[in-house]
Amino acid sequence: MKTQVGIIGGGPSGLLLSQLLDLQGIDNVVLEKHTRDYVLGRIRAGVLEHGFAGLMREARCGKRMDTMGEIHEGFYIAHDGTRDRIDLKGLTGGNSVVVYGQTELTRDLYEGREKMGGKVIHNANDVKPHDMATRAPYLTYHNGTGTVRIDCDYIIGADGFHGISRKSIPRDKIREYERVYPFGWLGVLSNTKPVSPELIYAKHERGFALCSLRSQTLSRYYIQVPLTDTVDDWSDDVFWAELKRRLPKDVAKDLITGPSIEKSIAPLRSFVAEPMRYGNMFLAGDAAHIVPPTGARGLNSAASDVYYLYHAMLDHYRNGDDSGLETYSEKALARVWKGQRFSWWMTTLLHSFPDSNPYDNRLQQTDIEYLLSSEKAMASLAENYVGLPF
């Protein structure tokens, strides 16, 4: 088989790029190792920057997002028994975010691929990129009956943090930067009315908590937990009681609890691989970078990689102009690192660190007090949260 762009990974990054390229007549194939249901079964992000929402519309996959997604013009920071609102719209001259689950977004992308007859191959086992540093790279995978080879002009590694693409790059051609946090997030999904119409990020001495949502009947809650915890340590009752302890009393009293329909613990890490290119293979999304979810940057950092790659491929195939491909890594990393900084800053601001001393704690308290007392400081938070320009 021959294609112009071979994409490893059928998550949001791979599917969005595939859809955008196909709409411009650029032939591509997506190789996904799992089934579609398995991919859709993962509960992950919930907040989309306006830039990501725009890309979904450009990919003709934004209709359900615009119908079911919620425009959020602000969120709350809870601390010391009270809460302050961050007025995203007012602080950014009118920008906002869309609250819409990654599961639904990925479903929309799969449906968009299907409508166009896009080539998304599931259960692609043992996918391997070959000859990336040559002008004739290719992919191989096992389809249950034998090995299939796909010759490409370019390979995109959109296979997430644990994928094969980044790991296929010679160690002396890639640099990795990492920070692992000494805690994780226990997330719960419940068919309950959200406690607040807007998100609440709660800083508490017992640990961080987040009240989010997927719709007015589907709530998403998180609490910071030690890395040693497992889901079995957290019955629904124990979870709800702990969440209430970490929220201001006037919020906790309104919390509607119910059975969890999904419960999982995600470790928190910051990670960047540089450069995001090796020969004719380009890395995009979690394959190249990971952030703690505190700043809701993970999925949104993937969006700007896709945006840059999409335009670079268009310039190459349309005008024979390779400047976009040549500058992709540098351009993508400039925005990736700003997302890293923001996610690290929000995580440091709002979580309890087991090894912090009294001085650290006073400094953290001062950080929150300064932030909420300064319109300029809140404007800086807001411009990062709604999304810096691509």
Q: Count interface residues toward ligand PHB (CB under 6 A).
A: 10
- Told to check if 296 binds ligand PHB by CB under 6 A, we report yes
Cα separation, 263 vs 189, in Å, equals 7
Q: Is 59 one of the binding residues for ligand FAS (CB under 6 A)?
A: no
CB nearer to ligand FAS: give 42 or 362: 42
103 binds ligand FAS (CB under 6 A): no
State which of positions 159-188 bind ligand FAS (CB under 6 A). Answer: 159-160, 163-164
Please give the Cα distance from 383 to 370 (Å, whole number).
17
Considering only 280-288, 294-302, 317-325, 332-340, which stretch makes contact with ligand PHB by CB under 6 A?
A: 294-302
User: Does position 293 bind ligand PHB by CB under 6 A?
Assistant: yes
Compute the least distance from the CB of residue 90 to ligand FAS, in Å: 23
Amino acid letter, residue 217: T
Cis before 275 (ω within 30)? yes
Quick check: 190 binds ligand PHB (CB under 6 A)?
no
> Are 212 and 295 within 8 A, CB to CB?
no
Radius of gyration of the chain (CA): 21
Nearer of residues 163 and 372 to ligand FAS, judged by Cβ: 163
Cβ-closest residue to ligand PHB?
46
Query: Which residues inside 111-150 make contact with ligand FAS, applying CB under 6 A?
Result: 124, 127
**Which of these ranges, 15-23, 25-33, 44-52, 235-243, lies near ligand PHB under the rule CB under 6 A?**
44-52
CA distance 28 to 22: 7
Tracing tokens 């997604």 back to the chain, one arrives at: 69
CB 131 within 8 A of CB 137: yes
Question: Which of ligand PHB, ligand FAS, none does 313 bind, CB closer than 5 to 8 A by kind?
Answer: none
Say whether residue 11 binds ligand FAS (CB under 6 A).
Answer: yes
Residues 6+ apart with CB under 8 A from 117: none
Contacts 24+ apart (CB under 8 A), 205-211: 205/352, 206/242, 206/245, 206/246, 206/352, 207/183, 207/246, 207/351, 207/352, 208/246, 208/294, 208/350, 208/351, 208/352, 209/78, 209/243, 209/246, 209/247, 210/185, 210/294, 211/243, 211/247, 211/251
CB of 23 to ligand PHB, least distance (A): 28
Minimum distance of ligand PHB from residue 244's CB (angstroms): 19
- Which of 260, 264, 188, 184 is CA-nearest to residue 224? 184
Dihedral of the alpha carbons of 41, 45, 49, 50, in degrees to the nearest 10 = 30
Rank residues 6 and 293 by Cβ distance to ligand PHB and give the closer one. 293
Does 158 bind ligand FAS (CB under 6 A)? Our answer is yes
CA–CA distance, 229 with 318 (Å, rounded to integer): 52
* Strand segments (E) across the chain: 5-8, 28-31, 47-48, 70-72, 75-79, 82-86, 97-99, 119-121, 125-130, 138-142, 147-151, 154-157, 175-190, 200-202, 209-215, 218-225, 260-274, 277-278, 281-283, 289-290
Residue 93 CB, nearest distance to ligand PHB (Å)? 22
Site membership for ligand FAS, residue 33 (CB under 6 A): yes
Measured from the CB atom, the residue of 75 and 110 that comes closer to ligand PHB is 75
Q: Which stretch binds ligand PHB (CB under 6 A): 79-87, 120-128, 287-295, 376-384?
A: 287-295
Given candidates 18, 212, 257, 329, which one binds ligand PHB under the rule CB under 6 A? 212
Report what 294 binds from ligand FAS, ligand PHB, none; CB cut-off 5-8 Å by kind. Answer: ligand PHB
Positions 243 through 302 that interact with ligand FAS (CB under 6 A): 266, 285-286, 293, 296-300, 302
14 binds ligand FAS (CB under 6 A): yes
Query: What Å distances lie between residue 337 and 67, 72, 76, 80, 327, CA to CA?
Result: 32, 25, 25, 31, 16
Minimum gap (Å) between residue 77 Cβ and ligand PHB: 12
Nearer to ligand FAS, 153 or 286 (CB): 286
Q: Does 218 bind ligand FAS (CB under 6 A)?
A: no
Binding stretches for ligand PHB (CB under 6 A) = 45-47, 199, 212, 220, 293-296
- Binding residues vs ligand FAS (CB under 6 A): 8-14, 31-34, 39, 44-46, 102, 124, 127, 158-160, 163-164, 266, 285-286, 293, 296-300, 302
